[in-house]
Amino acid sequence: MNLRLVDTFRQVILRGSMTAAAAHLHTSQPSVSRAVADLERSTGLTLFRRHAGRVVPTEAGMAFFREVERSFRGLDSLAQSAREIRLLGSGRLRVACIPALATTLLPIVIAEFCRRWPEAAVSLEMRSESTIARWASAAYCDVGFASLRPDAFGVRIEDLYRGAGVCAVPQAHKLARRRAMTTADLAGEQLIIPSSADVTRIQLDAILHAATSTRVPRIETPYGMTICGLVAEGLGVGIVNPLIAAYRPPAGVRFVPFEPAIVYRGYVVRPEVADENPLADRFVALARQVLAERFDHVVDVVPARA
């Protein structure tokens, strides 16, 4: 289908008349009229009714216009992508991340990244471990941040950090005064723990078994920030990623070191492609830097491989 004819039709709808469309397109009104007639012949649709010297879109014409607008929005997106490629050499940086990092580490990294490269465009998607692995394998994202080393084809995995989980307790709770806690301290407490899909759940089940016996946890949720919110409401205690404790701790919650250690890990997952987005290297390096500067008291940062 001739794009010039389609754009002429679109301008007639947007401008309200063939005369106004002709002025916008820097052509004559008869040329616009011929273009619309040619498009009607090629589509087999009656796009306008002619009435008293005016053209009024038909129902079929408006339905066709809606499809045209969707297509032109796609073209606008391509134009924006081209501008980003000219400016950055790679276009938008697509990042996929688990919730624990999307709500702690990544806001700091993205803020500094945008300060250093103000023309950069970043897309951050908060997704599950399996989705991050799948997206990286398909090169749907440029870089992923996960807590589980994925078993996926076509990805490159780098260790990022490791750190011991901490126990979140209500600020007024008797355990909040402890300098450290053990499984024995959890006996008789209402537990808020990660759901069975979480990578730390196996560790927790093994470590907490002695203290909880056959008791069923009061609440399960896969999100550390949600655990903190529930703890703040006095619904129980829970073990969370140390990054959550270090990044703007929520009101009403105290974090206490827990023994034996429940280890939380972070990984960088990237597509194994020949034409890597050059912004991804900068972003990952900056993530390591932020971890070392802001979170080194709660996690050990794994150096990048040479």
Residues whose CB is less than 8 angstroms from the CB of residue 163 and which lie 6 or more positions away in sequence, other chains included: 241, 242, 243, 263, 264, 295, 298, 299, 300
Query: Under CATH, which number does the domain 89-161+268-301 receive?
Result: 3.40.190.10
Query: pLDDT digit string (tens) for 190-222?
Result: 889 888 777 788 888 887 775 555 455 678 988
Angle, helices 29-43 vs 3-15, to 10°: value is 120
Contact criterion met (CB below 8 Å) for 232 and 253: yes
Specify the DSSP element, H or E, that contains 87: helix 59-88
List CB contacts of 245: < 8 A, sequence separation 6 or more: 166, 168, 255, 298
Residue 86's pLDDT is what? 52
- What pLDDT is recorded for position 215? 53
Q: Do domains 3-85 and 166-261 have the same CATH topology?
A: no
pLDDT of residue 125: 93
The CATH T-level fold of domain 3-85 is: Arc Repressor Mutant, subunit A (1.10.10)
Q: In the structure encoding, which two tokens stand for residue 113, read together?
A: 């990244």
Amino acid 257: pLDDT: 95
Instruction: From 179, 100, 110, 86, select the one nearest 147 (Cα to Cα).
Output: 100
Other beta carbons less than 10 A from residue 126's beta carbon: 17
Output Rg (C-alpha) for the chain, integer angstroms.
Answer: 28
pLDDT digit string, tens, across residues 88-130 = 454 579 999 999 999 999 999 999 999 998 888 899 999 989 8
104 touches 161 (CB < 8 A)? no
d(CA 269, CA 155): 6
Which helix H or strand E contains 97, and what residues bound it? Answer: strand 93-97
The pLDDT of residue 91 is 58
Query: What is the CATH T-level fold of the domain 166-261, as seen in this structure?
Result: D-Maltodextrin-Binding Protein; domain 2 (3.40.190)
% residues pLDDT > 70 (the chain) = 91
- Check pLDDT > 80 for residue 296: yes
> Which residues lie closer than 8 Å to 211 by C-beta, 6 or more apart?
183, 184, 185, 186, 187
Which position has the higher pLDDT, 68 or 199?
Answer: 68
Going 181 to 186 to 190 to 193, the CA torsion angle's sign is: positive
Q: Are 28 and 52 a contacting pair, CB within 8 Å?
A: no
245, with CB counted inside 10 A (0-12, 13-18, 19+), is buried
Read off the pLDDT of residues 160-196 as tens digits, 9 standing for 90 and up: 999 999 999 999 999 999 999 998 888 888 889 888 7
Q: How far is CA 48 from CA 7, 25, 41, 64, 299, in A?
A: 15, 19, 12, 11, 67
Domain borders along the chain are 3-85, 89-161+268-301, 166-261
Q: Tens digit of pLDDT for each residue in 231-263? A: 999 999 999 999 999 998 889 999 999 998 999
